[in-house]
Structure 1
């Protein structure tokens, strides 16, 4: 599916090219929404067999739903207080119904196309979900809708935010930006982004380190949650059965005992030998959890890493980035950890490939 990811990136590249040219060589761009559109298009092409325009309304409603349920009051969200019929609760219910209806409409369109001849690249995840639903006697519309919502939300929002943080950090650290660009140019050779495929992505090591360090500093998922199925003793703390435990991922990712005396410093060399390269993290593998852990590890982590490497490689081939003076650093939790005021970068042409 790497080829489809490259196809999704081409409109983004052309749009930024035009903006840079119109601005006289350097454009200030708030990159967030553009990256969301790219990631949404990737999900639509690879998982739902449609383009971004077809799924645009679903993405907009899911974004509104995310903002409606996001709240700094975690205590209210994990207690009975969330059940009070407030104005926000009614808004959430209304948006949820609208999203469900839109997804079921897309499902109906997919079912109507059943039986049409398709190439292997036209097969999508929605078809797999529908096949699974048809094989289960207990399956319902809710099964299909819930799976589609998970894919739409987790598959596009978290990846877009991770790409925004990556570009912010590369703009802040020009030496790493130069190293990552040089590697991408070497891997792609004279073919530019058109030569990107699954094999070439495996050769991109420096950018992979940058992505892994970005996910350490700004993990999209703020918490890993687990329920105790029986009474358990954790280092002298008794946890009764039925109690939910919320583990703040950022605390694990910024622990000096694991990551050294400067855990807040951007240093991709921490991952020079992979995600378990530090001595401590080899002993304690659950100190790095950008994609969760155990049986509930994110099923889309390889897909997300490929998508991030594709879009960042293509952008580095085409553009150079500096942090805008207007950038305001304020990570906030809206279900995922995202930049509250967006990411504004100064974008100019780099020696790369034109599309």
Structure 2
């Protein structure tokens, strides 16, 4: 008869006697996660906060454990933790935050908007915005570019054009001013063991309520304008008219919540991938030349034709560079869940009700899957190399039934956008040092990522 080894208690990450790991998680979450895996293994328990108010979080770092949390036991790991609840209250209960029947209904209604054919149709908007950016850079006098801000503006303009079709200037200004503040507010409340109810008239609550009202009003106005239109192909118009016999259609609140989630998830994540891909290429000129030869061969060199979705397969080297950038700088460095029932991961017990995180930041650097993990090496993503690794050794778009619905759109925007920029410019390292990073809802650059650009041709 087989003998079952009982699950063991998870080791506790080193912390202070009074606050546990709270200070480390607030000051340097990325480094804290890496040290925890190095010192304690693939399932680690963090204790954060003073006694009596202490929270407990289990971190899972192995690819096999990540697959269990996100895919094979996805029903046992729900989006019930405090951070998702704060995000729901800030930007609504859209696809990123909804659960159960609500999520399934939303997914069925929204999925037809993200078919390969539909997504491929947005290549023109990406190419147009990339071309406009190259012209704007050409007007710059000193040849220096700060990539984090530039790629955030580019990605926001692309997602606004795809979502709204028009009103790009007005919409991107409102979103750029309100959305970061709402994210920061939600994150701080998620970490705080004691927080004032949102309806209390504190200065922070009043400021955020005003920003939220402005953002909601803008979305509601655009949605209302689309109700009588059927001849447009922007995503908001398609959402307004999305329906099926089983699920009906989305009401006004649901429409707004989907739009806000698309805005939140659709530009910062892509901007991070673009910025760090270009920074890495600036620091590795041989790789940049390798990719540029491919781009020139496909698009015809400086001033060549606009890329289309049909070019994606031919830009395989550029895609490998992008995937390696997303390995080293995943847009979502940690993803949270809450366990419903007792289970075990890698022989370590996870109790019912426990908060659980999986971390692309750590798993993407796990030495069991990535030799010399901090080295930039796009050839890690040849088809043969990818097939030889566990499925969840690389998961920048999540996985399982809650995998990102916009993965294809993000890849299209990133590959085609990079192709245009690399066709027109050479990128040189400005020797600005490492970019200081933090972890919010997404990966946060706490300093500039500067490069020098030289127009080609």
TM-score over 0.5 (shorter chain):
yes
- State whether structure 2 residue 180 is matched by structure 1 residue 63: yes
Q: 1:126-185: per-residue Cα shift (whole Å, max 9, x none)? A: 123223479757954331222111111111111112111111101111111111111000
3-state SS, counterpart of residue 444 of structure 2: strand
Q: Distance in 1 between matches of 2:161 and 2:435?
A: 33
* Counterpart residue number, 1:156: 267
Q: Distance in 1 between matches of 2:385 and 2:308?
A: 23
Question: C-alpha root-mean-square deviation of aligned residues, in Å?
Answer: 2.5
Q: 1:10-29: per-residue Cα shift (whole Å, max 9, x none)? A: 2211011121xx33xxx111
Structure 2 gaps, min length 5: 1-121
Check conservation: 1:223, 1:249, Cα contact below 8 A: yes
Q: Which one is further off, 246-255 or 128-137?
A: 128-137
Check conservation: 1:215, 1:290, Cα contact below 8 A: yes
Structure 1 gaps, min length 5: none
* Counterpart residue number, 1:43: 159
Q: Which structure has the larger Rg over C-alpha atoms?
A: 2
Q: Distance in 2 between matches of 1:326 and 1:255?
A: 27
Q: Distance in 2 between matches of 1:82 and 1:179?
A: 52
Rate the CA distance shift 1:336–1:272 in 2: closer, same or farther, 3 A: same
Equivalences for residues 189-338 of structure 1 within 5 A: 189=300, 192-260=303-371, 262-273=372-383, 276-277=386-387, 279=388, 281=389, 284-338=390-444
3-state SS, counterpart of residue 266 of structure 1: coil
Check conservation: 1:180, 1:207, Cα contact below 8 A: yes
Q: Distance in 1 between matches of 2:161 and 2:223?
A: 15
Q: Distance in 2 between matches of 1:91 and 1:237?
A: 44
3-state SS, counterpart of residue 165 of structure 2: coil
- State whether structure 2 residue 449 is matched by structure 1 residue 339: no
- State whether structure 2 residue 226 is matched by structure 1 residue 110: yes
* 1:57 CA drift (Å): 3.4
Rate the CA distance shift 1:128–1:80 in 2: closer, same or farther, 3 A: farther
Question: How many residues get paired?
Answer: 331
Rate the CA distance shift 1:306–1:138 in 2: closer, same or farther, 3 A: closer
Check conservation: 2:160, 2:172, Cα contact below 8 A: no
* 81, 99, 102: which one aligns with 2:194: 81
TM-score, length-normalised on structure 1? 0.85
* 1:197 CA drift (Å): 1.1
